[in-house]
Structure 1
Amino acid sequence: MMKPIHKNTANQELHSNPQFYSTQAKRLDLCQGVVGDCWFLAALQALTLHQDILKRVVPLNQSFTEKYAGIFQFWFWHFGKWVPVVVDDRLPVNEAGQLVFVSSTYKNLFWGALLEKAYAKLSGSYEDLQIGQVSDALVDFTGGVTMTINLEEAPSNLWDLLAQATYRRTLIGCQTHPQEQRVLENGLVNGHAYTLTGIWKVTCKYGPEYLVRLRNPWGKVEWKGDWSDRMTLQDFKTHFVLLVICELTPGLLSHEVGQKWTYTVQEGRWEKGYTAGGRLQSPRDIFWKNPQFLLSVWRPEQGQRSLKPCSVLVSLLQKPRHRHRNRKPHLSIGFYLFRPQYRDGQRRLPSEFFWRNVPLSKPEEFLREKEVSKKLWLAPGTYLIIPCTSEAHQESEFILRVFSRKHIFHEIGSHSGVVFSKEIVDQNEEQNEFVTKLFEKLNASGTVSIQEFRDLWKQLMLYKEVFHKQDTNRSGYLNWLQLQAAMMEAGIVLSDNVCKLMVIRYGGPNLQINFVSFVLLMLRAENMEDAFQNLTQDGKGIYLQKSEVRCFPES
């Protein structure tokens, strides 16, 4: 049975004075309902510890009074893009009129229940939330990268990792042993997900003790062992099997403090008969048919000639093969890394290459997970990444992400272009022109000095900043009004009519302009401005003759 929250509907309301969110309420105010989505709620509890991250997923300016229309909007990072999900205000209740799924300890707060409904809509249904991993929800809330640690094989520096993770902007979850869910005598629950909410180092008579604090999504049933609602690190490693750390940037994995990271994202597909080559098994199998990605890495502070190893994080995510996330299980996935003596970035490497070369890195095991990731230390140079499934002829779409201090990354044998910045750049036919124009703007010789490259990079960073500032709905595109505002902020003023013409010229069929086209437009506009200043003496305006018009760059 569904019951509306607010009284402006015809049916009986859930509360006479509902609130969407309250800053006065305790952060950890949510309790799990009858559906087995403790993994989702554990990730959500971690999200509430970071208000700025929470606001991106849950716009907190929504209410049941101001401009209320009976709907609420939430945002999720869905395989490379932030997507909005809108739900109405009706929530499932039992015969007694009580919420059957997520609820708040504050009976008039409903943000958690509405967010769960939106996530169920994204996943297919409430039933599709019954089984999952904490890492899945953490990625969907942040677009970050997860690192999963098997606590039975925990590294010796586990406490240092936890200390760095809690100090930085990370979300942390953990899971108990995956037996049938039941409450143990010590108060823990088997087959259950928890949120790690804090750590402490305390001094005792016998020496230091390392403590962790956990939160049960049920809102009750806590650890009954030593240290009350906290437990020692040793007890934690004994009673929990997995620790999941989700970072917005991979600095924790590299131990490089205060460094800036860039990333690129590429979409791909394993298609039976074409690109579903499976794992590398025998010299003459079809492994070479898998999608091939070329990666060049270097250290930015020392240039491409530096021989010091570069920290690189590779993340492979597979998309669900059905609208309902649990209707078809995940495939077992992984990726290989090779070092080719290969300079042509357009032609795919043939099968002979894989007969004769041993991979630098390969999957220790193929995991049936939504995401697999691995940190690599690579000498500056060019590498080949091959994502694949454990068996040939298995079909699915995937997202391949690369994080490093500085790199260029693209697919071989496709029309995808190079993405230089942190943000995703759409793939289209103008990307080759994009790269060419950048260098043509500097000089006609095709060579670039260090200072020229620095100037170019500053321009790109400015373009990126103004573009994404105006892209308020995170769509990756600007309409003509947003374009006009972005160009004005970059120092170029266009009339309404001219701006509309620019969208027609540089935009797609939907009359919107992406980042690549925006950069092309900005470069040409600045070239035209330079040409104009060369022809006028006072900068106030001139009438041009036909011969003078030819001085302007073609558009």
Structure 2
Amino acid sequence: MSAGSNKAFHTIRNELLRTNSLFVDPDFPPEGRSLTFSGEQPFRNAKLKWMRPIDIVSKPRFFVDGATRFDLTQGQLGNCWFVAGAAIIVIKHRKYFVKIVPDDQGFGQNYAGIFHFNFWWYGRWKEVIIDDYLPTDGYRLVYGHNRTQQDEFWTALLEKAYAKLHGCYEAIDGGKLQDALVDLTGGISEVIDLEDKSKVSKSLYDILWKSFHMQTMMGCSINRPKGATSSEVEKSNGLYMGHAYSVTSLAVVPYLGQTVQLVRLRNPWGSGEWNGPWSDKSYEMQSLTPEIKKKLNIVIVEDGEFWISFEDLLSNFSEIQLCHIQPDAHTAEIAADEEKDQWEVIVYHDSWTRGITAGGCGNAPYQKLYWKNPQFQVVLTEPEDERSGKSTMMVSLMEKEKNRMGDIAIGFDIYKVRNPQDKPLGPDDNYTRYDLSRQAQSGKYQFYREVCRRFELPLGTYVIIPSTFDPNEEANFLLRIFTLKHIDSSVIDENNIPDPSVSVRTDVLADLFSKHSRTNQKLDAKELRSFLTELASLELKAHLDLSKEGCRSLIMMQDKNKTGFIDVEEARELWKDVKSFTSVFRQFDADKTGSIDTFELGNMFRKLGFPIERSVLTTLVRRYGGRDNTISLDDFIICMSKLVLMFHIFDDHLKISGSSENSAVFTRNEFLKYTLMC
């Protein structure tokens, strides 16, 4: 039996139990498309077989003696980052684990081949329902599993649910550990770069120690060497390059009259350990007293877990990944060593849209496009203490990746505005260098899914501008703003109610109208086209050849009686609008190509008295922009004609229905009629 995933887990399971059926997930079926983007088999020499746990072992179990980090073993999928992240959750955050892996399921009397898990997915917890078909080689699991307890299946099912969340198993073949931790908790990610050892803080271990004891989750990884042909490359000391490890503990132990800072790591393979100083069988470890060994929980067994000195970790690893459950645990906050109150968080979901808001970082020659990026205003009114007069703000920018393809570099700037004007910042428009100053940045643009920084800023009004490095890179994003004091915040957008009237001077055109109209002295779309072409040539000394669809749109805009024709007075008003639309278009068509960049649409509409919101702009660009982000004069006139008509229709219905300023009531037939009319 299959069931739509829009139903709740327990509802589906009850239906399955009633009909004595087993669940087959219609959204993530046991087929090739759930394995890879192409739908093909992932291995050349072996064909995977989908099997349920009840067909793999005689008595499958969801948990065997509860869940531990040793239950998680990476299979033939490059998702060490996810396995390592899940292992950290099992160790440090049982309350999250219970939320992620509900215990109301298993292979007992309520078994129906259906399971569910929860992930924090860009701002909210999302339930993922799956069936229990798992990829095997015909005998055993080929992806995540429990190496020692092969009848335990929670790890394999959790991995499948995470693969479904991303689209297929291939989508989680490669990733970043901190991203997995965020998806499992909703925390704030941070990356500490260890490549340049000279820039590593001397107090880093102390900062990590405090963060760790504030429930921060940690991992570390070694970059793969350039030119490597395999995804992981083993070093002579037992560590693997291109691989992620969980940080499972920190400890400081006495040794030879001094103290040594240690870090315990776990390889998600469940094997493959460090063989240098402080490894399981090393001289250093053997020299410790039984009491200290017991405290460190030393187990001499090949389980993938080992101790390493912090000094050796710094010399071997490329970065440390962190996920902070609370903003106070952010390393910059820890370094401040202050008592903090409860943080407030404001969340925005937005996007960079090609031709509308994907303005890039402002590098030449695209400086003006930078100001097209989404903008968010924050007003800091309360200091944390009167002495500093400053307020702490943490900003997190997260790209909503598609198929885990994090190939866009992201970052953000923060500007202080002396004279706020409730309109988007621009390169000229009333914002001089005396009114606007950049106060802070996220740092260099990163190919991370999330970039986050902490700031201490003077009170005032600020504008946060998130952007991609290059213009016209499309992506959705999540912006989170954490503060210790209540703040006012908003999206800066064009939200004024437009006045569709256009005031231009009147011209005599009766003779031409009579020439092109028939005996009834009215123009249809075909006649209007020839009329406008000749009128433009005579009055504007310019060529104007609109399409038939463009002329239809103009007629519908001016045809007050909705007859499909216009009379001479309507033609006179129509000509005013055409001249106004054309004039503005040519102002922005500086290179005389006959088309303009869609980034300019917002300014063009404002100039014509139509400051429209970004969502409407996005729709127009999607409909008319094409691959090259340009719009022709003909399409621009169609857009303007439809907008004017739609505003008139809306305003008329406001008067009829007596509705509020932002809503009007339409019957179904009215909606269909007006939609076809526009």
Same fold (TM over 0.5): yes
Quote the offset at 1:205 in angstroms: 2.2
3-state secondary structure, aligned to 1:103: coil
The verdict on how the C-alpha distance between 1:56 and 1:294 changes in structure 2, with shifts beyond 3 A counting, is: same
Provide the residue aligned with 1:143 in structure 2. 186
Distance 2:87 2:382 in 1: 37
Q: Does 1:292 align with 2:382?
A: no
Provide the residue aligned with 1:408 in structure 2. 488
Matching of residues 306-385 of structure 1 within 5 Å: 307-320=388-401, 322=402, 324-326=403-405, 329-344=406-421, 346-352=422-428, 356=433, 357-385=436-464
Distance 1:257 1:108 in 2: 47
Distance 2:50 2:356 in 1: 50
Distance 1:251 1:142 in 2: 16
Matching of residues 372-451 of structure 1 within 5 Å: 372-406=451-485, 407-413=487-493
3-state secondary structure, aligned to 1:251: helix
Letter in 2 for 1:47: I
Alignment equivalent of 1:101, drawn from 143, 151, 154: 143
3-state secondary structure, aligned to 1:85: strand
Provide the residue aligned with 1:53 in structure 2. 96
Is residue 20–residue 111 contact of structure 1 (8 Å, CA) maintained in 2?
A: yes
Distance 2:458 2:217 in 1: 31
Quote the offset at 1:308 in angstroms: 3.1
Q: Does 1:20 align with 2:62?
A: yes
Provide the residue aligned with 2:77 in structure 1. 35
The verdict on how the C-alpha distance between 1:415 and 1:59 changes in structure 2, with shifts beyond 3 A counting, is: farther
Distance 1:299 1:230 in 2: 46
The verdict on how the C-alpha distance between 1:88 and 1:208 changes in structure 2, with shifts beyond 3 A counting, is: same
Letter in 2 for 1:241: S
Distance 1:306 1:60 in 2: 51
Distance 1:351 1:404 in 2: 29
Quote the offset at 1:3 in angstroms: 4.3
The verdict on how the C-alpha distance between 1:208 and 1:80 changes in structure 2, with shifts beyond 3 A counting, is: same
3-state secondary structure, aligned to 2:471: coil
3-state secondary structure, aligned to 1:393: coil
Letter in 2 for 1:146: S
Alignment equivalent of 1:231, drawn from 302, 308, 326: 308
Quote the offset at 1:250 in angstroms: 0.9
Letter in 2 for 1:364: G
The verdict on how the C-alpha distance between 1:17 and 1:415 changes in structure 2, with shifts beyond 3 A counting, is: farther
Percent identical pairs in the alignment equals: 35
Quote the offset at 1:24 in angstroms: 4.1
Q: What do the CA deviations read for 1:432-462 (whole angstroms, capped 9, x no partner)?
A: xxxxxxxxxxxxxxxxxxxxxxxxxxxxxxx
Distance 2:494 2:119 in 1: 29
The verdict on how the C-alpha distance between 1:232 and 1:284 changes in structure 2, with shifts beyond 3 A counting, is: closer
Provide the residue aligned with 2:522 in structure 1. none
Is residue 306–residue 380 contact of structure 1 (8 Å, CA) maintained in 2?
A: no
Distance 1:337 1:301 in 2: 20
Distance 2:239 2:442 in 1: 33
Bigger relative contact order (CA 8 A; separation at least 6): 1
Is residue 384–residue 391 contact of structure 2 (8 Å, CA) maintained in 1?
A: no
Letter in 1 for 2:440: S
Is residue 288–residue 354 contact of structure 1 (8 Å, CA) maintained in 2?
A: no
Letter in 2 for 1:168: M
Q: Does 1:158 align with 2:204?
A: yes
The verdict on how the C-alpha distance between 1:366 and 1:354 changes in structure 2, with shifts beyond 3 A counting, is: farther
Q: What do the CA deviations read for 1:16-72 (whole angstroms, capped 9, x no partner)?
A: 221212444543321110111111111111111111111121112321114222111
Q: What do the CA deviations read for 1:489-547 (whole angstroms, capped 9, x no partner)?
A: xxxxxxxxxxxxxxxxxxx9xxxxxxxxxxxxxxxxxxxxxxxxxxxxxxxxxxxxxxx
Q: What do the CA deviations read for 1:78-120 (whole angstroms, capped 9, x no partner)?
A: 111211111111111114x111000113111111100111111
Quote the offset at 1:77 in angstroms: 1.2
Letter in 2 for 1:291: P
Alignment equivalent of 2:222, drawn from 167, 176, 185: 176
Q: Does 1:245 align with 2:322?
A: yes
Q: Does 1:2 align with 2:78?
A: no
Quote the offset at 1:330 in angstroms: 2.6
Distance 2:462 2:153 in 1: 49
Letter in 2 for 1:187: G
Letter in 2 for 1:294: Q
Quote the offset at 1:311 in angstroms: 2.1
3-state secondary structure, aligned to 1:318: strand
Letter in 1 for 2:49: M
Quote the offset at 1:355 in angstroms: 6.4
Provide the residue aligned with 1:277 in structure 2. 359
3-state secondary structure, aligned to 2:171: helix
3-state secondary structure, aligned to 1:360: strand
Letter in 1 for 2:213: Y
Letter in 1 for 2:368: D
Return the TM-score normalized by structure 1.
0.69
Distance 2:476 2:490 in 1: 17
Is residue 270–residue 395 contact of structure 1 (8 Å, CA) maintained in 2?
A: yes
Judging by fraction of residues, say which structure has more helix. Answer: 2
Distance 2:137 2:465 in 1: 50
Distance 2:252 2:64 in 1: 32
Alignment equivalent of 1:189, drawn from 234, 240, 244: 240
Distance 1:415 1:37 in 2: 45
Matching of residues 452-467 of structure 1 within 5 Å: none
The verdict on how the C-alpha distance between 1:222 and 1:306 changes in structure 2, with shifts beyond 3 A counting, is: same
Provide the residue aligned with 1:514 in structure 2. none
Is residue 3–residue 14 contact of structure 1 (8 Å, CA) maintained in 2?
A: no
Q: Does 1:266 align with 2:313?
A: no
Distance 2:383 2:476 in 1: 32
The verdict on how the C-alpha distance between 1:150 and 1:24 changes in structure 2, with shifts beyond 3 A counting, is: same
3-state secondary structure, aligned to 1:359: strand
Letter in 2 for 1:260: Q
The verdict on how the C-alpha distance between 1:236 and 1:284 changes in structure 2, with shifts beyond 3 A counting, is: closer
Is residue 57–residue 76 contact of structure 1 (8 Å, CA) maintained in 2?
A: yes
Number of equivalenced pairs: 404
Letter in 2 for 1:76: F
Matching of residues 62-73 of structure 1 within 5 Å: 62-73=105-116
Quote the offset at 1:133 in angstroms: 0.8
Alignment equivalent of 2:249, drawn from 185, 189, 198: 198
Distance 1:156 1:415 in 2: 50
Quote the offset at 1:5 in angstroms: 3.5
The verdict on how the C-alpha distance between 1:387 and 1:77 changes in structure 2, with shifts beyond 3 A counting, is: same
Is residue 407–residue 447 contact of structure 2 (8 Å, CA) maintained in 1?
A: yes
Q: Does 1:213 align with 2:267?
A: no
Moved more, 176-185 or 108-117: 176-185
